[in-house]
Amino acid sequence: MREQSTAFQDCYPDDYAHCYGCGHLNEQGLRIKSYWDGEESICQYDPPKKYTGGFPDYLYGGLIASLIDCHSAATASAARCRAAGIDLEAQALPRHVTAALKIDYLKPTPVETVTLKSRVLEITGKKVVVETTLSAGGMVRAKGEAVMVLIERNG
């Protein structure tokens, strides 16, 4: 069940909305959308057929890493707001960049709608650690752990 209608990524300020994976201003990008679902965040994505791995019936591992990265970054920002009691839509989302990303590819992933679910393991100072599963056909296909770092940038 989704708790709000505005995606995390739509709350990024415009100067941070150019990401190929999740920026609403990148017209050629993936434009993934993430939401709260209780304590977890969720993102569903239906990949274009061009994103195949070596075999044409498997999803590209680089896309799996990209989806986990972008969903984790948005989750980190939303979690920082939630921890501070700030409404997501009340102000621009704080910005995080990826310091480290670890993906375990557990099973081949078909080229069909995938579901990402993340939970926050830790928020400490500028750091947020996010754990993610990527599922398709009701099975977890990959797991990720991302270390996200809050950034300030003017201009």
- Cβ proximity to a second copy: between 123 and 144 the closer is 144
Which of 51, 56, 93 is CA-nearest to residue 76?
Answer: 93
8 Å CB contact between 99 and 51: no
Contact map string, positions 111 to 130, toward a second copy, x by CB under 8 A: --------------------
Least distance CB 37 / a second copy (angstroms): 23
| Residue 15 or 89 with smaller CB distance to a second copy | 15
Q: Determine if 83 is a binding residue for a second copy (CB under 8 A).
A: no
Tokens of 154: 């003017």
Q: What is the 3-state secondary structure (H, E, C) of 36-70?
A: EECCEEEEEECCCCCCECCCCCEECHHHHHHHHHH
Distance CA 49, CA 57 (A): 9
Binding-site residue total for a second copy (CB under 8 A)?
A: 41
Position 98 contacts a second copy (CB under 8 A): yes
Binding mask 21-60 for a second copy (x = CB under 8 A): x-x--x-xx--------------------xxxxxxx---x
92 binds a second copy (CB under 8 A): no
Tokens of 95: 């910005």
**Torsional sign, CA 99, 113, 7, 81:** negative
- Kindly list the residues in this chain that would bind a second copy in the complex (CB under 8 A): 12, 15-21, 23, 26, 28-29, 50-56, 60-63, 65-67, 69-70, 73, 95, 97-105, 108, 153
